[in-house]
């Protein structure tokens, strides 16, 4: 903060950082000889997929790595010219929170659930001896106002769970900037947020940086976020920096194979190479027809609250034909997952009909329901959470045959599991392994194999690729498209990420607050979105910083017209 | 919230009634009280007169209906032995048990939170191992054995503490210590476990990034979040003590409800047995409500 140190030398320098994590067998190298620096007013983006070591490098800067199991093998970290790598106790407290602050991916988990947000902000002023009591509270209210929390003087006394996802991240930011740090480290700050909220948070970070001149390190796996924020980029893969440079150069002419792969994996990046994965089968008979689907929840608010009703899904209609993919797009709370749960009768609808093979799903008895569930399968967002960790791959995939006795005689199970594993691109020798021995993408392939085991007509994918890295997302979508052609499947593909369905869905339904606001063919929706909400979803996609400098805010539509 | 308490109360009344019915019939299975109260050589006429006086001559279902009728008018029956209101006797003994239980639990909880929290900050460290050893010993050693050995060592051999009874502060030491040992042992393990997971929670990382002091992180942020399971277990253990620390009260001659209950059962003083059960059941119901409300105080996400 002292004006004298405003020189050309970097604010933070990390040299040759190597971190191991001790495990039962041998130490795992999380970060290997990583060096980077960042100057005041500059934004450095650390780009990489999960497990690339991008978070570990910055955790070391703030001494957030637990040792053990972590082990900083080597490395020099200096801040404002002074080494800070080994600071503990009181000297560390002069850095953390005061000079360097950090915000994290999931603000609900990273805020203490049992304290009001006010207490958690006031605490920063108090523990650094800056302000206390009434003054600290007033400054906290001011901070909340600055980061865009409405009615900050009443909301300061609320708890984290009473805020929306985007507001929680604003609260985190308010905490981080309380003491005007010189460096803000943002670790996947928008990954858990909806696209439109993501844009607001990124704008806020940009504004704050302009205001205070702080340095910003942004860690992300999202290429678009990276491009829209970065002055400089380092790309990490398997604990090493594989490419570093000025943002524009890295994104427009990537040199390293990994960066090239990453950038080509963008679902809506290079259209020529990305290719069209839409269905080629002409529309056949109707598989599922949903009419007036409605779900109402009753809830009570507060200690003495009375029951209120809330329409999670309101009068939704759509139909899907054989061999077709229907994309249901919406942000969290739009009711898209409720629709899926009702179609599988995991939740009972309040009203409406869903005709599958001439029969209303909602009036089926238990026996009919069992037969129906065989024909409609689901693939969930988190393949690990939706698999029993104590069942082998063979047991997981063959379970539908044990439930529905008439699909396959037991003698053929082994061969069929092998066939299915080959179909989804897994090594059939791995049938006896357990879910934890696979990567996220491989687990999702197992989940797809399990869904295919009961020979369904329709697969509902609920955010099936959202938890995966970009390059893996593309692979899974390719796999689904290929299976559709080969097996004549229909998909309902539920996602919050509009670009993902662009080359995959035949038709798109856009949902907002429980209602369908727009539907139509995919090309029509992308070429000419009618509803303002759809337009905002398309525009919320971040614009590269070097383009934004010339034209401050090109609309999503204009940009899309270029690549369509 | 009031409606929640009302709902809980009505559920509890049903279970207390069931419990009373069970106790009523079970006590009467133990035999005829007159054979214990009257001299061995008393005549059949005397026995019949005794039974008539206390209503034991009537058919058992009739006795039960009478009992219920009396309950409604808050008449809980007479102690056959002491010839006064059974409820009066139970309520005289109960405060003694309550005092003992709450002192012992307060001690156990306070020590367990401190020891468990410190142990959790360095799992596998020296302090952690010592705490684990003590807590396992405490949780597994039978309390009657500890009580008897305690009396032998501190009262008989060294004559430092009284063997039994109440009165001075010294009378409290051994019963409180023996009673607190097991809850302490169990609670330390609970605190240690929940603190370990709380300390690796994401919000602790935030606290560290904010530059909070270690003490504030452990006792301000982690402890508060790990209290819920501790309270669940502590509540359960307290219920056990309120129920009458039967063995410890008997060994130390502590005039609490546990000792009263045992004495009444041995003497077939049915009205007293029923009254003690009613008192402790009510106390446990109130305790559980308090614990539920404490949840809501500690965790703002819990609302009834």
pLDDT tens across A195-254, in order? 778 888 888 899 889 988 999 999 988 888 888 889 999 999 888 898 898 888 888 888
Say how far apart CA A207 and CA B34 lie, in whole Å: 90
A271 lies in a domain? no
Binary contact (A110, B301; C-beta < 8 A)? no
Helices (H), A435-504: 440-453, 470-487, 498-501
Lowest-confidence range among A45-49, A258-262, B25-29? A258-262
Q: Does one domain contain both A412 and A483? A: yes
Residue span of the structural domain in which A509 resides:
286-298+309-559
Contact residues, chain A, for B202 at CB < 8 Å: 104, 106, 109-110
Q: Are A246 and A329 in the same domain?
A: no
pLDDT tier at A275 (50, 70, 90 boundaries)? low
pLDDT at A9 over 70: yes
Count structural domains, chain A: 2
Mean pLDDT value of segment A278-303: 75
N- to C-terminal Cα separation, chain A = 47
Given pLDDT bands bounded at 50, 70 and 90, which one contains residue A388?
confident
- Residue to mutate among A127, A160, A174, A183, with most B CBs inside 10 A, is A127
Inspect the interface and report whether the beta carbons of B203 and A302 lie closer than 8 Å.
no
- For the domain made up of B93-298, the CATH class stated in words is mainly alpha
pLDDT at B15: 87
Mean pLDDT, range A528-532, rounded to an integer: 88
Instruction: Write out the H or E segment, with its range, that includes residue A43.
Output: strand A43-47
Nearest in space to A38 (alpha carbons), one of A96, A97, A100, A88: A100
Pair A229, A371 in one domain: no
**CB of B70 within 8 Å of any CB in chain A?**
no
A270 occurs within a structural domain: no
pLDDT at residue A274, rounded to an integer? 41
Average pLDDT over residues B158-178: 84
Distance, C-alpha A424 to centroid of its chain: 24
CA B28 to chain centre: 25
When scoring B210, B214, B228, B292 by the number of chain A Cβ atoms within 10 A, the one with the most, hence best to mutate, is B210
- With residue A200 as reference, give the H or E element that holds it: helix A195-212
Structural tokens at position A447: 């989940």
CB contact under 8 A, B213 and A93: yes
Model confidence over B178-218: pLDDT tens digits? 889 989 999 999 999 999 989 888 899 999 999 899 888 98
Cβ within 8 Å, pair A113-B299: yes
Packing angle between helix A470-487 and helix A257-264, nearest 10 degrees? 50
To the nearest whole angstrom, how far is the Cα of B88 from the nearest Cα of chain A? 38
3-class DSSP state for residue A379? strand
Please check the confidence at residue B112 and state whether its pLDDT lies above 80. yes
Residue A206: CB atoms within 10 A of its CB come to 16
Helix (H) or strand (E) holding A367: helix A366-375
Contact: B211, A93; criterion CB under 8 Å: yes
Distance CA B204, CA B198 (A): 8
Q: Where are the alpha helices (DSSP H) in A40-193?
A: 54-61, 89-95, 107-110, 117-127, 133-146, 152-155, 165-177
Give the Cα separation of B97 and B241 in Å (integer).
8
Segment holding A356, helix H or strand E: strand A351-356
Count the alpha carbons within 13 Å of A532 in the hemisphere toward its beta carbon.
0
How many CB pairs below 8 A link A and B?
A: 84
Q: Does B215 touch chain A (CB under 8 A)?
A: no
What is the rounded end-to-end Cα distance, in angstroms, of chain B? 6
DSSP class per residue in chain B: -HHHHHHHHHHHHHHHHHHHHHHHHHHHHT--THHHHS-TT--HHHHHHHHHHHTTTS-HHHHHHHHHHHHHTT---B-TTT-SBHHHHHHHHHHHHHHHHHHHHHHHHHHHHHHHHHHHHSTTSHHHHHHHHHHHHHHHS-HHHHHHHHIIIIIIIS--S-SS-SSSTHHHHHHHHHHHHHHHHHHHHHHHHHHHHHHTSHHHHHHHHHT--HHIIIIIIIHHHHHHHHHHHHHHHHHHHHT--HHHHHHTT--SHHHHHHHHHHTT-HHHHHHHHHHHHHHHHHHHHHHHHHHHHH-TT---
Q: Would an 8 Å CB–CB cutoff place B209 in contact with chain A?
A: yes
What is the spatial distance between Cα A425 and Cα A423, in angstroms, rounded to a whole number? 5
A2: left (phi over 0), alpha (psi -120 to 50) or beta: beta
Between B247 and A101, residue with greater pLDDT: A101
Q: What six digits make up the tokens of B116?
A: 């468990």
Region for B165 from its dihedrals, namely left if φ exceeds 0, alpha if ψ lies in -120 to 50, beta otherwise: left
Question: Domain ranges in chain B?
Answer: 2-72, 93-298
Q: Is the pLDDT of residue A276 over 70?
A: no
Q: Indicate if A209 and A353 belong to the same structural domain.
A: no
Q: Which residue has the tokens 């915000």?
A: A103
In chain B, what's the furthest Cα-to-Cα distance? 86
pLDDT for A90 beyond 70? yes
Q: Which one of A66, A93, A114 has the shortest CB-CB distance to B300?
A: A114
Q: What percent of chain A is predicted at pLDDT more than 90?
A: 20
A561 has pLDDT over 50: no
ipTM score over 0.85, yes or no? no
Candidate from A96-105, A129-138, A277-286, B98-107 with smallest mean pLDDT: A277-286
Q: What is the pLDDT of residues B266-301, one digit of tens each?
A: 888 888 888 998 898 888 888 888 888 888 888 888
Check: CB of residue A187 under 8 Å from CB of residue A48.
no
**Tokens coding A548:** 């934004």
Mean pLDDT computed over A378-389: 82
**Any A CB within 8 A of B211 CB:** yes
CA distance B180 to B177: 5
CB A426 within 8 A of CB A449: yes
Residue A319 has which token pair? Answer: 């139909």
Task: Please give the backbone phi and psi of residue B129, each rounded to the nearest 5 degrees, phi first.
Answer: -70, -40
pLDDT band for position A184 (cuts 50, 70, 90): very high
Residue A1 lies in a domain: no
Q: Does B298 touch chain A (CB under 8 A)?
A: yes
- Give the pLDDT confidence of A236-248 residue by residue, as tens digits: 988 889 889 888 8
**pLDDT score for A479:** 86
Q: Provide, as residue numbers in chain A, all residues whose Cβ is less than 8 Å from the Cβ of B304.
A: 303
Cβ atoms of A363 and A355 closer than 8 Å: no
Helix/strand/coil for A462? strand
B296: nearest CA partner in chain A: A303
User: Span A501-517, mean pLDDT?
Assistant: 88
Contact between A114 and B208 using a beta-carbon 8 Å cutoff: no
Residue A556 reports pLDDT greater than 90:
no
Cα four-point dihedral sign A166, A126, A62, A108: negative
pLDDT value of residue A66: 81
CA dist B50 and B34 (Å) reads 7
| pLDDT band, residue A279 (cuts 50/70/90) | low
Residue A266's pLDDT band (boundaries 50, 70, 90)? low
Interval A385-403 mean pLDDT: 87
Domain match, A384 and A444 both = yes
Q: Say if residues A77 and A83 touch (Cβ distance below 8 Å).
A: yes
Instruction: Work out the average pLDDT over A479-501.
Output: 86
CATH code: domain of residue A214: 3.40.50.300
Nearest to A128 among B200, B205, B211 (CB): B211
Q: Are residues A405 and A464 in the same domain?
A: yes
* Interface list for chain A against chain B, based on CB atoms closer than 8 Å: 62-64, 66, 89, 92-98, 101-102, 104, 106, 109-116, 123-124, 127-128, 159, 161, 172, 175, 302-304
Q: Calculate the average pLDDT of chain B.
A: 86
Sheet of strand A240-246: strand arrangement = A100-103, A183-187, A215-220, A43-47, A232-237, A240-246
Distance CA(B235)–CA(B240), nearest Å, equals: 9
Same domain, A208 and A323: no
**pLDDT at residue number A304:** 53
Same domain, A194 and A229: yes
User: What is the model's pLDDT at position B109?
Assistant: 93
Q: What is the pLDDT of residue A564?
A: 33
Q: Check if the beta carbon of residue A195 is closer than 8 Å to that of residue A224.
A: no
Do A421 and A510 share a domain, yes or no? yes
Position A526 pLDDT exceeds 70: yes
Residue A273 lies in a domain: no
Backbone angles phi, psi at A220, to 5 degrees: -155, 160
């Amino acid at each position: 903060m002292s004006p004298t140190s405003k020189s050309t030398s970097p604010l933070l320098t990390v040299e040759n950082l190597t971190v191991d994590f001790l495990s039962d067998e041998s130490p795992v190298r999380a970060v290997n000889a990583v060096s980077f620096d960042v100057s005041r007013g500059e934004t450095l983006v650390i780009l990489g997929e999960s497990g690339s070591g991008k978070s570990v490098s910055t955790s070391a800067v703030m001494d957030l790595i637990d040792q053990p199991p972590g082990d900083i093998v080597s490395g020099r970290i200096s801040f404002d010219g002074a080494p800070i790598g080994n600071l503990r106790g009181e000297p560390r407290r002069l850095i953390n929170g005061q000079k360097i602050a950090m915000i994290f991916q999931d603000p609900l988990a990273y805020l203490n659930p049992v304290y009001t947000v006010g207490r958690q902000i006031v605490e920063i002023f108090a523990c650094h001896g800056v302000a206390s009591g009434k003054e600290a509270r007033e400054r906290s209210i001011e901070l909340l106002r600055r980061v865009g929390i409405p009615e900050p003087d009443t909301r300061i006394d609320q708890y984290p769970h009473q805020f929306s996802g985007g507001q929680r991240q604003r609260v985190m930011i308010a905490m981080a900037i309380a003491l005007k740090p010189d460096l803000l480290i943002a670790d996947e700050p928008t990954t858990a947020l909806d696209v439109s909220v993501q844009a607001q948070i990124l704008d806020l970070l940009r504004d704050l940086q302009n205001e205070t001149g702080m340095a910003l390190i942004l860690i992300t796996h999202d290429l678009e976020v990276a491009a829209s924020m970065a002055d400089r980029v380092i790309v990490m893969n398997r604990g090493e920096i594989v490419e570093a440079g000025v943002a524009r150069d890295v994104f427009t002419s990537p040199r390293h194979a990994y960066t090239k792969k990453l950038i080509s994996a963008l679902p809506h990046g290079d259209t020529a190479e990305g290719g069209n994965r839409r269905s080629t089968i002409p529309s056949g008979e109707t598989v599922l027809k949903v009419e007036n689907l409605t779900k109402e929840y009753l809830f009570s608010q507060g200690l003495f609250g009375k029951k209120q009703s809330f329409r999670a899904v309101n009068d939704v209609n759509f139909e899907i034909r054989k061999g077709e993919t229907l994309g249901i797009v919406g942000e969290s709370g739009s009711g898209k997952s409720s629709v899926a749960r009702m179609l599988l009768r995991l939740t009972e609808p309040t009203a409406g009909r869903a005709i599958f093979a001439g029969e209303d799903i909602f009036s089926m008895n238990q026996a009919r329901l069992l037969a129906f569930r065989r024909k409609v399968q689901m693939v969930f967002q988190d393949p690990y959470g939706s698999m029993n960790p104590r069942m082998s791959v063979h047991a997981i995939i063959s379970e539908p045959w044990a439930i529905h006795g008439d699909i396959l005689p037991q003698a053929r199970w082994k061969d069929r599991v092998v066939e299915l594993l080959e179909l989804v691109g897994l090594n059939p020798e791995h049938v006896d392994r357990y879910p934890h021995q696979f990567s996220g993408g491989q687990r999702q392939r197992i989940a797809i194999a399990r869904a295919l085991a009961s020979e369904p007509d329709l697969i509902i994918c609920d955010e099936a690729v959202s938890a995966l890295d970009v390059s893996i997302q593309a692979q899974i979508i390719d796999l689904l498209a290929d299976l559709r052609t080969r097996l004549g499947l229909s998909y309902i593909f539920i996602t919050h990420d509009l670009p993902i369905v662009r080359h995959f869905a035949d038709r798109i339904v856009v949902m907002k607050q429980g209602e369908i606001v727009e539907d139509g063919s995919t090309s029509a929706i992308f070429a000419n979105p009618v509803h303002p909400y759809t337009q905002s979803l398309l525009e919320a996609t971040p614009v590269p910083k070097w383009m934004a400098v010339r034209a401050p805010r090109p609309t999503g539509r204009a940009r899309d017209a270029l690549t369509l | 919230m009031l409606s929640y308490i009302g709902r809980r109360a009505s559920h509890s009344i049903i279970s207390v009634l069931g419990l009373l019915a069970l106790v009523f019939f079970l006590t009467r299975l133990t035999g005829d009280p007159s054979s214990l109260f009257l001299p061995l050589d008393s005549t059949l006429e005397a026995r019949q007169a005794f039974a008539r006086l206390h209503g034991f001559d009537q058919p058992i279902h009739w006795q039960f209906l009478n009992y219920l009728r009396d309950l409604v008018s808050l008449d809980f029956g007479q102690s056959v032995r002491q010839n006064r209101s059974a409820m009066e006797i139970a309520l005289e003994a109960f405060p003694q048990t309550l005092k003992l239980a709450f002192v012992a639990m307060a001690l156990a909880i306070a020590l367990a939170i401190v020891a468990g929290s410190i142990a959790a900050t360095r799992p596998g460290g020296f302090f952690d191992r010592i705490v684990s050893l003590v807590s396992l010993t405490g949780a597994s050693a039978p309390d009657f054995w500890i009580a008897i050995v305690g009396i032998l060592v501190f009262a008989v051999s060294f004559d430092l503490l009284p063997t039994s009874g109440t009165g001075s502060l010294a009378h409290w030491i051994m019963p409180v210590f023996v009673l607190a040992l097991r809850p302490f042992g169990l609670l330390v393990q609970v605190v240690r476990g929940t603190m370990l997971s709380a300390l690796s929670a994401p919000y602790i990382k935030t606290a560290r990034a904010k530059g909070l002091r270690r003490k504030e992180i452990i006792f301000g942020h982690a402890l508060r979040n790990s209290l819920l399971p501790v309270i669940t277990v502590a509540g359960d253990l307290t219920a056990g003590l309120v129920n009458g620390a039967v063995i410890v009260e008997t060994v130390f001659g502590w005039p609490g409800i546990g000792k009263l209950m045992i004495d009444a059962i041995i003497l077939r003083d049915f009205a007293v047995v029923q009254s003690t059960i009613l008192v402790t059941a009510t106390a446990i119901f109130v305790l559980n409500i308090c614990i539920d409300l404490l949840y809501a105080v500690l965790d703002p996400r819990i609302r009834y």
